[in-house]
Structure 1
Amino acid sequence: MMPRQLAVAGALALFALPPAASAQDAPPIAERTAQSDLPLEGPRAATRIGHASLSISVTPATRSIAGRALHQVVALSDTAQLQFDLDPRFAISEIVVDDVAVPASGWRNPDGLLTIDLPRPLGAGERALVSIMYTGVPHVATNPPWDGGFTWATTPGGEPWIATSIQGEGCDMFWPCIDHSSHRSDSLDLMVTVPDGLVAAGNGRLVAERDNGNGTTTFHWQARDPSNYGITLQIGPYELAERTYRSRYGNEIPLMFWHLPGHGEEAERLLGELADQVRFFEEVVGPYPFADEKAGVAETPHLGMEHQTINAYGNAFRRDPLGYDWLLAHEFAHEWFANQLTHASINHMWLHEGIGTWMQPLYLGWARGQMYYDAAMWENRKAIVSRVPLVPPEGQLPDYNDRAAGWGTDIYYKGAWIMHTLRALVGEEVLSPALTELTYGTTDPQPGAIRPVNRTTEDFRRILQAHGAGDLDWFFDAYFHQAALPRLEARQEGTTLSLAWQTPSAMPFAMPVEVRVGDSIVTVPMAEGRGDLSLPDAGTSWLADPRNLVLKQDDAIDAWRAAERRRGD
């Protein structure tokens, strides 16, 4: 997902978004459903979904869905119950476990935690096949994709145009799941039934398209290792632009863009950008993780979202002076940093958004030159808030939408700048293999042998140090666990320039500082958070951090931001 600051106000104005017919009558979203990554406890911690099979019929006329979830559940420990997260607005008509119907008294879902009493207890390692039938009117997203749910729109031609976006609230908004970042099923069958004339673009590979002979068509998709929030419904009168990309690893990757009628030429242009971005990522990070399925994009009535192998795109094909489509690039980066590397909990969401955001200027520098990298990084720098820690303590769920705290902004821009600073500190020779291992679990990933990994910020520190970065406790504490940015104090007395880092961290901030002295650049080590430099004479000009390699407090940005706020008032 992209930060709110990047939203283009006119993106949705191009299309009709009729008011929800029953919006005023719809129940508010349940407190539990509105949250994601709640602690894994009890039966939710005792099981996982090995294979998920979802059959969902979508009826645009009533803005309703009817679904059947058929889950192969694996017991991780002994349990007499199953628990799934599911929005309680859905009416459950039937639950069957291993061909045994569970009586209505054997399940309950008053608050979004569906609890099922098993006909017989499961021992650790045992499996059960669970069928859940449900129907209802799903929650309508009020400001997609940042506020999740369904978007029911119409195209300029008047056809239904439907999309889900559920990152913040989670998978339980339209199917029964274990709504936690650490959980993903091994495989998925997704069968979506829609009125004839509409296409359901989905995750993974399309294995069948069936005319039901009753005015509806079913699209059957199969995917491996889908992330929970990456499973999506994207429906419209789509046409398909496609091409095949020959990877540097010798395999072929299908590139596919489901677009509205009349947008074929622009979709072909963006497929060209997508091919170039595959080349960049495979050179800089490693092989495209889902090459056996596709790199897919679907045009949507909301701005965008990183749905696995079928990214949502709603940027209206706008041109950018930087020479690329920022939204396409941002969401595609998430195939590596969200869908392949998935944070172990939402507290480490910067691993998705910060590294993904850094990939955009990095790509611009690779494709167009250093000036473009610097220009993009400067825009990122102006947006950093740094009022709360980037990685909150485990058990403390951050609020993405708390604009005063700014965490939902910092995970993008502060995260990107930490990566920029980290590269300056440890060097490309350390960061490059460490980033690859962080993403794949190996420094030699090969197509056909790639499985997603769950990571924490601590995993990243450990991997960097294993690759020769040295002790980085001080770096990670200052940038991830403290709110305020390090401040660089500089004082000249005669020919002596004294530098000192100030940070709330108890550990000395040992970030070396480049100093331009006259026409030369020298590096001051700052091992204990301070260092001195002798100048040729007292009148010699100097500038600390002339290449802006270090993320640090900048009073000018704060003064500018305060002035902008006053002007807005």
Structure 2
Amino acid sequence: MSRRSQLLIAFLIAVVVGPAAAQQPAFTRADTLRGSVTPERAWWDVVFYDLHVKFDPADSTVRGWNAITYRVTGPSRALQIDLQTPLEIDSVVQGGKRLAHRRDGNAFFIATTGRQPRGATRTLTIYYHGKPRVAEKPPWDGGVIWARDPDGAAWISTACQGLGASVWWPVKDTQADEPDSQRVALTVPDSLQAISNGRLRGVVRRSDGWSTWEWFVTSLINTYVVAPYIGRYGQWTETYEGERGHLTLDFRPLVQHVDGARRQWQQVRPMLKCFEHWFGPYPWYADGFRLIEAPHLGMEHQSAVAYGNGYRNGYKGNDLSGTGWGLTWDFIIVHESAHEWWGNSITTADIADMWVHEAFAMYAEGLFV
């Protein structure tokens, strides 16, 4: 190779590769703690989350606790729990004793005490509070959404795919470990309803003007698809005869939009028929299928799909395909529900592989059309 050719190749590499390399993000220690299975995550396996959270729309704060039951799978050491700033841990308790903990950015390292033999099951409880990050442009720029319904009443939810569930509750924030089941108990002003994943076990109304809504998920669940929906909701229920028998359909539009929802959400039945035919039974018969109006476009919250498409076909009333076919079906109902199979039932261990979830959901759209 001539000297001239060598110089030309070097110039092309500098022009093409140089800018691309310069655009590569600089990974931080916080990225490593959030995105990898650290030694402080690897030695224990989540069995159950018992989450209790009070949402106060008056000052946009949360306060509560999460009792984490885990199984010891290896030699014990410090235990990593994730909780994003500006939220704060008040205390960590195990076996009636307070545990020492230290903060490293959005991760906390907890010094467990007592014997933690391999195969044993233990529970620790984390108490926390604060004003969580507000979602600036949900669902893409996530966090907690403090919105208002058409009549001005509080309307609250979360969207945290990619960002992580630790934006609003303390958790082992990795897709590589899911609890076998979970309780979600939401305390809200008694003028509002609090809806979440799974099935409602009961509502406790207190004399101080607050109510606690207890929901229970019987299946494995990815933590970013655990979500509260707090507002003034209408409701109706139906039964779908699916491939595993009776499937409960629970519809929760805002009270102002019940009539429009009854028309638009009829698309749920043909969607289920299509996807059960191609992908097998809906994965969560025990927890039911729920479609809930949300203060953002949409998200695949497990058994509690978020809907914010304005009761229009297409993507916010637009045909992204340019063919006319895109206006014959509701993008959010079909796409987000497809994630019940691809994303919730089958979940990648690493958020970096989210393309797998989205690619199969897009494939499902084509099958539906």
Q: TM-score if structure 1 supplies the norm length?
A: 0.56
| Pick aligned residue for 1:138 from 132, 137, 144 | 132
The equivalent of 1:58 in structure 2 is 55
Kindly indicate whether the alpha-carbon contact (under 8 Å) linking 1:88 and 1:109 is maintained by their aligned counterparts in 2.
no
Whole-Å separation in 2 of the counterparts to 1:101 and 1:89: 22
Matches within 5 A, 1:119-518: 119-223=113-217, 224-249=219-244, 251-320=245-314, 322-364=327-369
Instruction: Measure, in 2, the Cα distance between the counterparts of 1:157 and 1:137.
Output: 25
Cα offsets for 1:267-300 (capped at 9, x unmatched): 2223321111111111111000001111111111
Q: Distance in 1 between matches of 2:272 and 2:183?
A: 26
Partner letter of residue 363 of structure 2? Answer: W
Displacement of 1:230 after TM fit?
0.6
Question: Given that residues 195 and 216 in structure 1 are in contact (C-alpha distance below 8 angstroms), is that contact kept between their aligned partners in structure 2?
Answer: yes
- Structure 2 distance, partners of 1:82, 1:92, is 14
Alignment match, 1:90: 87
Q: CA deviation at 1:123?
A: 2.1
Identity %: 32
Secondary structure of 1:282's aligned partner: helix
Question: What does 1:13-24 correspond to in 2, within 5 Å?
Answer: none
Pair 1:46 & 2:13 matched: no
The 1:175–1:323 alpha-carbon spacing in structure 2 relative to 1, beyond 3 Å, is same
**Aligned equivalents of 2:167, 2:269: Cα separation in 1:** 33
| SS of 2:227 mapped into structure 1 | coil
Counterpart Cα distance in 1 of 2:212 and 2:109: 30
Contact 1:69 1:132 (C-alpha < 8 Å) held by counterparts: yes
Q: Which residue of 1 aligns with 2:5?
A: none
Q: Secondary structure at the match of 2:41?
A: helix
* Structure 2 portions without partners, runs of 5+: 1-27, 315-323
Shift of 1:53: 0.2
**Amino acid of the residue matched to residue 332 of structure 1?**
S
Measure the CA separation in 2 of the matches of 1:154 and 1:163.
11
Asked if the contact 1:33/1:86 (under 8 Å) is kept, the reply is no
Q: 2:64 — aligned with what?
A: 67
* 1:115 and 2:120 matched: no
Deviations 1:488-547 (A, max 9, x none): xxxxxxxxxxxxxxxxxxxxxxxxxxxxxxxxxxxxxxxxxxxxxxxxxxxxxxxxxxxx
Query: Structure 1 residue 36: deviation in Å?
Result: 8.6
- Amino acid in structure 1 at the alignment position of 2:266: G
Distance 1:337 1:56 in 2: 29
Contact 1:278 1:288 in 2 (8 A): yes
Partner Cα separation in structure 1 for residue 243 and residue 335 of structure 2: 22
Instruction: Report the Cα distance in structure 1 between the residues aligned to 2:64 and 2:262, rounded to whole angstroms.
Output: 34
User: Closer, same or farther in 2 for the Cα pair 1:33/1:68, shift >3 Å?
Assistant: farther
Mapped partners of 2:304, 2:344: distance in 1: 11
Describe the SS at the equivalent of 1:340: coil
- What's the CA shift for 1:32? 7.0
Is contact 2:35-2:350 (8 Å) kept? Answer: no
Match of 1:254, SS state, is strand
Question: Match of 1:238, as an amino acid?
Answer: Y
Corresponding letter in the other structure for 1:265 = D
User: In the alignment, is the contact (CA less than 8 A) between 1:36 and 1:180 conserved in 2?
Assistant: no
Provide the residue aligned with 1:557 in structure 2. none
Aligned partners of 1:86 and 1:172 also within 8 Å: yes
**1:92: how far off?**
1.9
Deviation, 1:236, is 0.9
Which structure 1 segments of 5+ residues have no match? 1-30, 365-569
CA distance in 2, matches of 1:347, 1:111: 21
Tell me the secondary structure at the aligned position of residue 80 of structure 1. Answer: coil
Does the Cα contact within 8 Å between 2:250 and 2:290 map onto a contact in 1? yes
How far does the alpha carbon of each residue in 1:6-54 deviate from its partner, in whole angstroms, 9 at most, with x for none?
Answer: xxxxxxxxxxxxxxxxxxxxxxxxx777889611111211112111000
TM-score norm. by structure 2 comes to 0.86
Distance 1:62 1:54, change over 3 A: same
Shift of residue 175 of structure 1? 1.3
Letter paired with 2:287: E
8 Å CA contact 1:58, 1:192 repeated in 2:
yes
Instruction: For 2:302 and 2:264, locate their aligned partners in 1 and report how far apart those are by CA, in whole Å.
Output: 18
Distance 2:311 2:29 in 1: 37
What do residues 373-400 of structure 1 show as CA deviations (whole Å, max 9, x unaligned)? xxxxxxxxxxxxxxxxxxxxxxxxxxxx
Q: Distance in 2 between matches of 1:354 and 1:242?
A: 31
Taking a change above 3 Å as real, the CA distance of residues 202 and 32 of structure 1, as seen in their structure-2 partners, is farther
Q: Aligned-pair distance for 1:165?
A: 0.3
Task: State the alpha-carbon separation in 1 of the partners of residues 160 and 214 from structure 2.
Answer: 21
Alpha-carbon distance in 2 for matches of 1:348, 1:89: 28
1 or 2 for the larger relative contact order (CA 8 Å, sep ≥6)? 2
* Matching residue's letter, 2:44: T
Structure 1, residues 216-245: CA drift from partner, whole Å, max 9, x if none? 111100002111111111111111122110
Native 8 Å contact 1:241 1:259 kept in 2: no
Q: Secondary structure at the match of 2:361?
A: helix
The secondary structure found in structure 1 opposite 2:138 is coil
Would you identify which runs of 4 or more consecutive aligned residues in structure 1 move more than 3 Å? Answer: 31-37, 319-322
